[in-house]
Structure 1
Amino acid sequence: MTTPSALEQPTGVPMPRRLAARLVLLPALVLGLLPPRRIRTVLGLLRRGAAPATAAQAQKARDAMCAASLSCAGPKGCLPRSLGAALLCRLGGTWPTWCTGVRIVPPFTAHAWIEAEGRPVGEGVPDGYFARLMAVAPLPRPTKR
């Protein structure tokens, strides 16, 4: 999967956050080897009990993944970057919307990203730039009566 990438590694990511990103990097890489149906199943289980991530929380997780791994920061690192960012958010008790899809303008390349508050996080593209093929959104919070 390709297209927009983190063209440079973010600076200012605290060491504990970088270490947490390194912790989730291997599971993200292994998860990326699974068929899409299995990825969706695993992420569907992991999102349980998590609050929806804010845009700031999701951006911090994405930045940490890019700071922890050059492969995640590169143009072909979208799948491990998005999976790692989702897992990193989950460690903090939140869940972004994890998405895969394609660009809607030629060339139609595959891409994986995270969204929060209804918008792609850190992609630098306008809304509607990608067409979703699969998404794992946070579960609705039960209302108290």
Structure 2
Amino acid sequence: MSSHMALPPPPSALPRLRYRCAGLCGFVLAVLLLRLPLERSVALVGALRRWAVRSATVGEAEVLVTAVRRAAQWFPGRAACLENSLAAALAALLTRRSVDWCIGARLMPYAAHAWIEVEGVPVGEPSEPDRPYLLLQRT
């Protein structure tokens, strides 16, 4: 089973079937898409956003992140922030909602990170990070 890197534990409540299916499909699509160059995944998420009916609420995004993390628990390979955040963005798009998929980095020590945001609020992230990330890409 995979482990999550320094993220809060997922809520114990089981998401509704609709969100669990979207989370699983989003995770499978994310793993497949990340076999391609990253700019293709960024372009695809950007292109699919026009099909979204509306922006997700923070609550909907939290449920989707939980559903993705539950699907990722059974994946035998890497299921870190990049895979999970892309999967959450794709799961939101599968439910015809949009979220911002963000990729960032920080220095000393260098670290890269990916996450989703709704209305500028990071979803599924620690409430007080030890050091902020510089946003490099928002899709």
TM range (shorter): 0.7 to 0.9
- Picking from 39, 42, 45, the partner of 1:37 is 39
Residue in structure 2 matched with residue 108 of structure 1 by the alignment: 110
Residue in structure 1 matched with residue 71 of structure 2 by the alignment: 68
Residue in structure 2 matched with residue 8 of structure 1 by the alignment: 9
Extract unaligned runs of 5+ from structure 2.
none
The change in CA–CA distance for 1:53 and 1:15 in structure 2 (over 3 A counts) is: closer
> Is 1:133 aligned to 2:136, yes or no?
yes
More deviation, 76-85/108-117: 76-85
Runs of 4+ in 1 over 2 A off after TM superposition: 3-10, 17-20, 125-128
- Picking from 52, 55, 60, the partner of 2:58 is 55
Deviations 1:66-96 (A, max 9, x none): 1222278xx9611111011111111221111
Extract unaligned runs of 5+ from structure 1.
137-145
The change in CA–CA distance for 1:57 and 1:9 in structure 2 (over 3 A counts) is: closer
Paired with 2:112 and 2:69, the residues of 1 have a C-alpha distance of: 19
The change in CA–CA distance for 1:132 and 1:82 in structure 2 (over 3 A counts) is: same
When the two chains are superposed, the root-mean-square deviation of aligned CA atoms in Å is: 2.6
Percent identity for Structure 1 against Structure 2: 34
Paired with 1:14 and 1:113, the residues of 2 have a C-alpha distance of: 20
- Picking from 121, 135, 138, the partner of 2:123 is 121
TM-score of the two chains, using structure 1 as the length reference: 0.77
